[in-house]
Every structure is written in structure tokens, then in C-alpha cells.
């Protein structure tokens, strides 16, 4: 049997620019600041479908906070956000973890990826402990067992980072279910990158969050790039990542992730919804990964070199600074001072940590290699530890 049709062809998505090309963001539809409506927190998901395709923004081009999502934050809160945001290595994505880390408390539980270190910094986790972890030295809180930046800080509401992508999202839902089961008032918050939303874990998490109305905030950090794969490879060409929530009956917000106030406002909306037992919210945080994926990565081999500079939503720290200056609460001098202070703090912590030792110079005792595999060692671990001679 033959069909009177043309041969099929396979589509493989490609980004709008590769190395050597001029960055092209003309395909982005960016709503003006203040132009997206804010539904009541008890809105039914079906009543707010358009928010999955819009972009919630508060800060306009002049740094003014406008529109229904303006969280009307006082200057002291903003300064805290502005100051702390300078410590991060998640260049371009600082606003997300800092704002969200400030809204939720450390009694709530965050299930992060490796790009939410801002959560720890915003909550005052000692910088030197972060560095000790990075160096896997004798003072590493997790005893040299994980790659750098795979922090774990239970007392700061920071769940142990896996490194296997997406696994934390359904765990966050389970944690939130447990809190609800116990009649507790704590909620969970989790983050996943645009690339990892393709993992089954993400979709399982949305099903469970919807079915059991779990008090959890499910963030998708769309930073455009998963190592070298642009967000279209994860399904971002045909729809938004926020819209994935719609099929699961969850409310979706799509937010300018470089707008500290918009991130704050959307998170607060989701928080109120979760705390009032109305369940989960999916938030797509639209941003740009300014830095390489990791120190082993070279983005100039797969994307236009100046793409980050040309990103139409700017830099989150610069925009918050502009806003504070517009409010008359900040100045270039104050910013320079805060930056210098931040750099000094980081340097001091670095020195303190390096004095304990860097990777290979200092490490926990070898005996600890065999500990905490189980609550108590079994005979195998005892024998193997003896074989090592410790």
C-alpha cells in the first residue's frame, strides 16, 4: 500500500545562535513590567492558564516597581537581598535563591540543585563551611563525601544535593506530604533546571503534588542552557516550561527570574497558597545561565560569546541596584562599598578555610570513609576498615 504523501522528515531543534552568530532574542515575547494580572491565591488553576505563557515582571527599565505584583518591600529587606546576592557563583541567577531563601524559613525544607547556593548565603550559613565543603577538608561538614557545592545543611532548610538530576523534586513533594500528614505548618520548596524537566521524576512529582495537594513550591529555573543543550532540546520551543503544570491541574506562574521583586512576589503568592493548604504551585523562573555549566565547561564552543551581555532581561543584581537607587535608598558608592565588604568576607572565609587545608592537603580521617553507610557498621565494613589499617 502506498500513501500519496511526501516523505517524513525528522526535526531536531536548534538554538537561535551558535558561536560566531549575533545573539538573537527576537523570538522572546517579553511582557512589559506591571502588565500581568495577579490572581487571588485561591484561584483555580484553570482560571489562570494565561499566566503560564506570560512573564510576570515588576521592575521597569528605569528600575521602578510597578503593577499588581509589586511586593512593596521595604528598603532594608531590599538591601539585604542586594548585599547578599553578590556572593554567588550562580552568575545571572542570583535573584532566585536569595529572594526565595529570604521568604521561606529555615524550618521549611528546600530541595535544591547545585545552583541555589544563594539559599545558604541568604540564611547566614557560614561561608567558611561552604568552602570547607568545596575543599573536602578536615572541617567539611559532610566529611569529604561529595563533589564541591553538593552542600547539605539540614538546620538551614537545605536538603542534601544529589547530583542525579531531578530526583529531589518528587522527594520535596513527599516531604511536603509528610508535613501535611502531621498537621505541621512547614512547606517544601524545590528547584529543577529546564533541561532536567525532561526526567520522569519531574512529571511524577507533578502528579503526586496534584493528587495529594502537597504544600510545595515547584520551581523550574529556565536558564536557557543545560550544559550545551539549549532549552528547546528539553521541550521549550513548543511551549513554556510553566505550561507543563497545566496538564497536571497545578497553577503555573512564569516569572522574570532576573527581577528580584517579581521573584519575591510570585514566591510569596505560591507560599501563601501552600500554607493555606491549597497545594502546589509551579513557577518558571525565566533567566540566563551567565557562567559556564561548571569549571569543566566552555560555553564559547556552543553559544554566541556575548549572548549573556545581550540578554534582554539584564542582570538581577544591577537591576535591584538600579531600583534601590531610584528609591533614593542606595548609591553607586554604597554598592561599591557593599561589594568590597562582600569580597572581603569571601576572602576572609577563603583564608580561614585554606588554613584548614585545600583538596588533598587536608581531609577527614580515613576511618570516616566507612562510617554512616548504615546507622551501625556491619562486619563487612569493620573488616574492610581494618584492611585499610584504620
Partner 1 sequence: MTEKTFTDADRHDGIAPDMADQTEAPASVASEAAAVAPMNMIQALNSALHVKMAEDPNVLSFGEDAGYFGGVFRVTDQLQQKHGLTRSFDTPISECGLVAAAIGMGAYGLRPVVEIQFADYIYPAYDQIVSEAAKMRYRSGGQFTSPIVVRSPYGGGIFGGQTHSQSPEALFTHIAGLKVVIPSNPYDAKGLLTAAIEDDDPVIFFEPKRLYNGPFDGWHQKPVSPWKTQDLAQVPTGKYVEPIGKARIMREGNDVTILCYGTMVWVSLAGAEHAGVDAEVIDLRSLVPLDIETIEASVKKTGRCVIVHEAPKTSGYGGELSALVQERCFYHLEAPVTRVCGWDTPYPHAFEWEYFPGPERVATALKAVMTGGSR
- Residue numbers at the binding site for partner 1 (CB under 8 A): 109, 111, 140-143, 145-146, 150, 152-154, 159-160, 162, 164, 167, 169-179, 181-182, 188, 200-201, 204-205, 207-208, 211, 372-375, 378-380
Nearer to partner 1, 72 or 182 (CB): 182
Closer to partner 1 by CB, 104 or 169: give it. Answer: 169
Strand partners, 110: 158, 189
β-strand partners of 221: 193, 285
Q: How far apart are CA 332 and CA 287, in angstroms?
A: 25
Main-chain dihedrals φ then ψ at residue 247, nearest 5 degrees? -65, -20
Q: Which helix (H) or strand (E) holds 182?
A: none
Helix orientation angle between 75-84 and 94-103, rounded to the nearest 10 degrees: 130
Least separation in angstroms between CB 138 and partner 1? 13
333/378 with CB nearer partner 1: 378
Of residues 78 and 169, the one with the C-beta less far from partner 1: 169
Residue closer to partner 1 by CB (options 212, 302) is 212
Q: In sequence order, what are the residues at sequence separation of 6 or more whose Cβ sits closer than 8 angstroms to the Cβ of residue 346?
A: 87, 127
CB of 292 to partner 1, least distance (A): 25
> Residues, the chain, total?
390
* Shortest distance (Å) from residue 353 CB to partner 1: 17
State the DSSP string of 245-269: GGGGT--EEEEETT-HHHHHHHHHH
Compare residues 238 and 378 and give the one whose CB is closer to partner 1.
378
First to last CA, the chain: 74
Q: Smallest distance, Å, CB 189 to partner 1? A: 12
Minimum Å gap between C-beta 152 and partner 1 is 4
Distance in Å, CB of 232 to partner 1, minimum? 25
Q: Is 11 left (phi over 0), alpha (psi -120 to 50) or beta?
A: beta
> Residue 64 corresponds to which cell in the numbers above?
521602578
Amino acid at each position: 500500500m502506498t500513501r500519496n504523501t511526501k516523505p517524513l522528515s525528522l526535526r531536531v531543534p536548534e538554538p537561535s545562535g551558535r558561536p560566531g552568530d549575533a545573539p538573537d532574542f527576537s523570538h522572546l515575547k517579553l511582557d512589559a513590567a506591571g502588565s500581568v494580572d495577579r490572581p487571588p491565591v485561591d484561584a483555580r488553576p484553570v482560571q489562570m492558564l494565561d499566566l503560564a505563557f506570560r512573564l510576570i515582571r515588576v521592575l521597569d527599565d528605569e528600575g521602578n516597581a510597578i503593577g499588581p505584583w509589586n511586593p512593596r518591600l521595604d528598603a532594608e529587606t531590599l538591601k539585604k537581598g542586594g548585599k547578599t546576592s553578590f556572593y554567588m557563583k550562580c552568575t545571572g541567577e542570583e535573584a532566585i535563591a536569595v529572594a526565595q531563601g529570604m521568604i521561606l524559613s529555615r524550618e521549611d525544607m528546600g530541595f535544591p540543585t547545585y545552583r541555589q547556593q544563594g539559599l545558604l548565603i541568604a540564611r547566614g550559613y557560614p561561608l567558611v563551611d561552604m568552602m570547607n565543603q568545596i575543599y573536602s577538608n578536615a572541617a567539611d561538614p559532610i566529611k569529604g563525601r561529595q563533589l564541591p557545592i553538593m552542600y547539605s545543611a539540614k538546620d538551614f532548610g537545605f536538603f542534601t544535593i544529589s547530583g542525579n538530576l531531578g530526583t529531589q523534586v518528587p522527594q520535596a513533594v513527599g516531604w511536603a506530604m509528610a508535613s501535611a500528614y502531621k498537621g505541621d505548618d512547614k512547606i517544601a520548596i524545590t528547584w529543577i533546571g529546564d533541561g532536567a524537566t525532561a526526567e520522569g521524576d519531574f512529571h511524577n512529582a507533578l502528579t503526586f503534588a496534584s493528587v495529594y495537594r502537597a504544600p510545595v513550591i515547584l520551581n523550574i529555573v529556565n536558564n536557557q542552557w543545560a550544559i550545551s543543550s539549549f532549552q528547546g532540546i528539553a521541550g521549550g520551543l513548543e511551549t513554556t516550561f510553566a505550561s507543563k503544570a497545566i496538564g497536571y491541574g497545578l497553577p503555573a506562574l512564569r516569572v522574570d527570574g532576573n527581577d528580584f521583586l517579581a521573584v519575591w512576589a510570585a514566591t510569596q503568592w505560591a507560599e501563601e497558597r501552600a500554607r493555606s493548604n491549597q497545594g502546589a504551585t509551579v513557577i518558571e523562573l525565566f533567566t540566563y545561565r551567565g557562567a559556564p555549566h561548571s569549571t569543566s565547561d566552555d560555553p564559547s564552543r556552543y553559544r554566541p560569546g556575548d549572548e549573556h551581555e545581550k540578554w534582554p532581561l539584564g542582570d538581577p543584581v544591577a537591576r535591584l541596584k538600579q531600583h534601590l537607587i531610584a528609591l533614593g535608598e542606595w548609591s553607586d558608592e554604597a554598592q561599591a562599598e557593599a561589594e568590597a565588604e562582600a569580597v572581603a568576607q569571601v576572602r576572609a572565609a577563603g583564608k580561614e578555610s585554606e588554613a584548614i587545608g585545600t583538596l588533598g592537603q587536608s581531609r577527614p580521617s580515613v576511618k570516616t570513609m566507612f562510617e554512616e553507610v548504615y546507622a551501625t557498621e556491619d562486619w563487612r565494613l569493620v573488616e574492610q576498615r581494618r584492611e585499610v589499617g584504620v
